[in-house]
Amino acid sequence: MVPFGDVSPAELSRARWALEVATRRPVVVLPRQPVPREAGAETDQAVDFLDALILAPPPDTFRILGLTSAPLMAEGEPVIGYSRIGERALVYSTHLLPRYATEAVRRGQARRIIVHELGHTYGALHCDQSCVMRDAESGHGLDELPLHYCPEHRAMAEEALKEGPLHPNALVRLGAERMRLGAWTEAIAAYRQALRHSPWDYKARTAMGVALMARGELTAAEEAFITASRSAPRAAQPYYARAVLYAAGVAPHRAPVFLEAAVGRDDDPRRAHRAAGILYQELLEDEAQAARHFQAHVSAGGRDPDVIARLVYLIQPTTLTFNEPETIIARWSPELGLEVAYLPPRTAAAAPAP
What CA–CA distances, in Å, run from 333 to 295, 312, 317? 20, 10, 9
pLDDT at 101: 84
Distance CA 116, CA 124 (A): 9
pLDDT at 329: 57
Asked whether the predicted pLDDT for residue 244 surpasses 80, the reply is yes
Average pLDDT over residues 54-59: 78
Average pLDDT over residues 279-293: 94
pLDDT at 327: 53
Split at pLDDT 50, 70, 90, the class of 277 is: very high
Q: 89-147, pLDDT tens digit by residue? A: 999 999 988 877 899 999 999 999 999 999 999 999 999 899 999 987 544 478 888 99
pLDDT at 11: 95
Average pLDDT over residues 194-200: 95
Residues paired with 250 in a beta bridge: none
CB neighbours of 324 closer than 8 A, spacing ≥ 6?
348, 349
In the chain, the amino acid numbered 180 is R
Q: 289-317, pLDDT tens digit by residue? A: 999 999 999 989 898 988 988 988 887 65
Average pLDDT over residues 33-49: 74
Distance CA 238, CA 232 (A): 9
In the chain, the amino acid numbered 292 is R
Average pLDDT over residues 37-66: 80
Split at pLDDT 50, 70, 90, the class of 345 is: low
| Domains by residue range for the chain, with CATH | 2-163 (3.40.390.10), 167-219 (no CATH), 234-315 (1.25.40), 316-354 (no CATH)
pLDDT at 350: 38
Asked whether the predicted pLDDT for residue 278 surpasses 90, the reply is yes
Distance CA 83, CA 346 (A): 48
The conformation of residue 142, written as its DSSP 8-state character, comes to G
pLDDT at 337: 53
Q: 213-243, pLDDT tens digit by residue? A: 999 999 999 999 999 999 999 999 999 999 9
Distance CA 297, CA 233 (A): 24
Q: Among 274-278, 304-308, 324-328, which range has the highest average pLDDT?
A: 274-278
In the chain, the amino acid numbered 243 is A
Least confident among 36-45, 161-170, 235-244, 246-255: 36-45
Split at pLDDT 50, 70, 90, the class of 338 is: low
Distance CA 107, CA 18 (A): 7
Least confident among 53-67, 132-146, 161-175, 289-303: 132-146
pLDDT at 225: 97
CB neighbours of 102 closer than 8 A, spacing ≥ 6?
none
Mean pLDDT value across the chain: 87
Split at pLDDT 50, 70, 90, the class of 348 is: very low
Q: Are 186 and 155 in contact (CB under 8 A)?
A: no
Asked whether the predicted pLDDT for residue 354 surpasses 50, the reply is no
Percent over 90 (pLDDT), the chain: 67
